[in-house]
Amino acid sequence: MLKYDRDDARDVLERASARETTARVAAGAVCRRFLREFGITLGSHVVHLGGVDARRPDKMPADLNAAADESQLRTLDRDAEQEMIARIDAAKADGNTLGGIAEVVCDGVPVGLGSHVSWDRKLDGRLAAALMSIPAVKAVEIGLGVESARRKGSDVHDEIDPDERNVKAGRVRRRTNRAGGMEGGISNGEQIVLRASMKPISTLMRPLGTIEMKTREPAQAVAERSDVTAVPAMGVIAEAMTAFIVAQALLEKFGGDSLGETRRNYENYVAGLSGRQGR
């Protein structure tokens, strides 16, 4: 309000609302369809809500979104879901709101998207910025995330798997994926794993203290209808933003004036990677 010399917060809050992300989700759906042409798929699920952690399966479902959609809260842990629902009901009764964490998994991304050369071309930086642009998202993690700061290097970095099948196929695979599918700002062929942390919605049914902007007198914030949490929806928005950035990086890498040309460029590149064996 001060920046734009406004007296009414409504002028700001409507434009700052997450409602603007509907256009992003629509654009992300187009990007997702484009990525499918190259075998790249995306999905999201809730891994934390209102103080409750959801157990992450050792192996993700083949269709992550279909599995997540079986849950009211888009979580894969049904036991945790019941506790999350109880926390939501309690927060609603208290006039409060809850935050949480959603994880996005992008599978099938080829080696080589992004760059280590310039800071603005690093794929991890671009994805982090895209997720941070979602209203109420306050932190982004990639792969092991903040946990990597608490471990020794030998417990963080991913070893190369010397499996003969990978070697013969010209693939370089990791035994683990603590890096979250990117190293040095470049995709490494493993799943891209991102987590976005969302703060509780700021509109409370028990308003907090504020001031009246015209008089600077103490006041209470306005109470109006609001959701208790929007973490599952935030995960869907994060999917869309991930699809947008990955599609952008793929087009930068392979170019082309038609889908057919881009596909040929992609296939030639992948074939070239396989042909590197023994060089």
Strand partners, 141: 195
pLDDT at 164: 66
Dihedrals phi, psi of 126, to nearest 5 degrees:
-70, -40
CA 44 to CA 150: how far, in whole Å?
Answer: 26
pLDDT in tens, 216-230: 888 888 777 789 999
pLDDT at 72: 95
DSSP 159-212: PEE--HHHHHTT--EES--TTTTEETTEE-SSPEEEEEEEPPPS--SSPPEEE-
Give the model's confidence band at 169: pLDDT under 50 very low, under 70 low, under 90 confident, else very high: low
pLDDT at 156: 93
Q: Which domains does the chain have, with CATH numbers?
A: 21-274 (3.60.150.10)
Residue 201 amino acid letter: I
Give the model's confidence band at 167: pLDDT under 50 very low, under 70 low, under 90 confident, else very high: low
Residue pair 92/225 in contact (Cβ under 8 Å)? The answer is: no
Q: Which residues contact 240 (CB under 8 A, 6 or more apart)?
A: 21, 24, 25, 27, 28, 29, 31, 32
Angle at 188 between CA 185 and CA 191, to 5 degrees: 105
- pTM of the shown model: 0.91
